[in-house]
Amino acid sequence: MLKDTDDHFTDRALIKAASNGDMRAFGSIIEKTEGLVTQIIFKMVLNSADRKDMLQEVYLKIFKNLPTFKFQAKLSTWAASITYHTCFDYLKRKRLVLLEDYAAHELVVSGETERGLMNSELSLILSMAMERLSPVYQTLITLYHHEELSYEEITEVTGLPAGTVKNYLFRARAALKQSVLKNYKREEL
Amino acid sequence: MIRENEHLSEAEIQTYAFDTDDRVKAHLEVCEACSLKVANYRLIFDGVKNEEPAAFDFVVRDFVLATLPARNAPEKPDHLWSVLVVLGGLVMLTAGYVLFKLAASAVSAIGLWLMVIAACFILLYQLGEPVMEHRKKMRLLQKI
């Protein structure tokens, strides 16, 4: 029997209830996971109509697979993993670029001294620079720096080896910094 | 070993900025260029951390739940079908009884029993078909 406040439910109880067709319990699962799910969808899918379809597809998969969830990961991490792989398949279907080799740009070390950034100018440039990154790089940066997931959790979400996650994150950060600095200088001119 | 006279690599800068690797601290205390790189990384990724989280312009819970019940709501028993089956059965039994009475006076005993058996087969087939159809639909729904 469900109590009035869903907050009192553990993930285990929620999953059990939702697996038995309790839509209120599934609603609570959606509320618990939608933050991370939404972040991943927005970073990996550009088209707003496709984002809506992705959201629907992701939660349908979560609903169907709930009875098989064995708590090998946190509920939110598991939901994030389903989201990442669903979006990844979408990108593959659409033949969109998953990763770009930004390392080539990054490894060209110019002789000029790096300039200090001003906080007030940054936020405008940052979102534009983020959008220029590939979907996977954007997602990794968001998972690590915005959602504050650990390397291990990102490994669980993406299914990538830990070394690859660190390598991609390194490249993504370097590419983002370079893009921000480039735009920062352009703005100044 | 960190070199004092050489600048740090990009990887070393990142490791210090995000994983706080103190091995490069001594170099950073004397190198303005590398310290600036660390500061820039931290400033940029503080910006990422404080970014407004992306959000749909509708209530996700309501949207998702509205798309699921059609598939997953527990099925209500179809009373109309039950009534039709019972009525059909009664009509057929009555018709069978009337026919049996009429035929009893007109045909031989073997002919009569053949007619009864044929009628039973038809009846069973008619009753079984909706059940088979229902099972087929359920299997199809589970596959979706």
Query: Distance, in angstroms, between A37 CA and closest chain B CA?
Result: 10
Q: Is A20 helix (H, G, I), strand (E, B) or coil?
A: coil
- Assess B69–A contact: CB distance below 8 Å, yes or no: yes
Give the C-alpha separation, A58 to A83, whole Å: 6
Calculate mean pLDDT across residues A77-105: 78
What is the per-residue DSSP string for B32-66?
Answer: HHHHHHHHHHHHHHHHHHTSPPP--SS-HHHHHHH
Q: Do A127 and A133 touch, CB atoms closer than 8 A?
A: no
Give the C-alpha separation, A145 to A157, whole Å: 15
Give the C-alpha separation, B118 to B60, whole Å: 59
CA angle B70, B63, B75 (to 5 degrees): 15
Q: Which residues in chain B (93-112) have CB-CB distances under 8 A to chain A?
A: none
Does the pLDDT at position B41 exceed 80?
yes
Does the pLDDT at position A141 exceed 50?
yes
Model ipTM? Answer: 0.79
Q: Is A116 helix (H, G, I), strand (E, B) or coil?
A: coil
Q: Do A13 and A66 touch, CB atoms closer than 8 A?
A: no
Contact assignment for B67 to A23 by CB distance below 8 Å: no
Query: What does the pLDDT read at residue B126?
Result: 86
Q: Is A13 exposed, middle or buried (0-12, 13-18, 19+ CB in 10 A)?
A: middle
Calculate mean pLDDT across residues A43-58: 94
* Among A42-56, B46-60, B68-82, the least confident range: B68-82
For residue A186, the number of C-alpha atoms closer than 13 Å in the C-beta half-sphere is 9
A-chain CB neighbours of B42 within 8 Å are none
Residue of B110 and A160 predicted with greater confidence = A160
Identity of the residue in A59, A130, A170 whose CB atom sits nearest the CB atom of B64: A59
Question: Considering chain A, what is the average pLDDT of its residues?
Answer: 83
Return the residue in B42, B60, B67, B76 with the most chain A beta carbons within 10 A, the one to mutate for interface testing.
B60
Query: What does the pLDDT read at residue A37?
Result: 97
Band of pLDDT at residue A1, cut at 50, 70 and 90 = very low
| CA max distance for chain B | 121
* Among A46-55, A154-163, B89-98, the least confident range: B89-98
Calculate mean pLDDT across residues A121-125: 79
Dihedral of CA atoms B85, B87, B90, B91 in degrees, nearest 10, equals: -110
Give the C-alpha separation, A100 to A171, whole Å: 10
Band of pLDDT at residue A146, cut at 50, 70 and 90 = very high
Give the C-alpha separation, A163 to A103, whole Å: 16
Residue of A72 and B70 predicted with greater confidence = A72
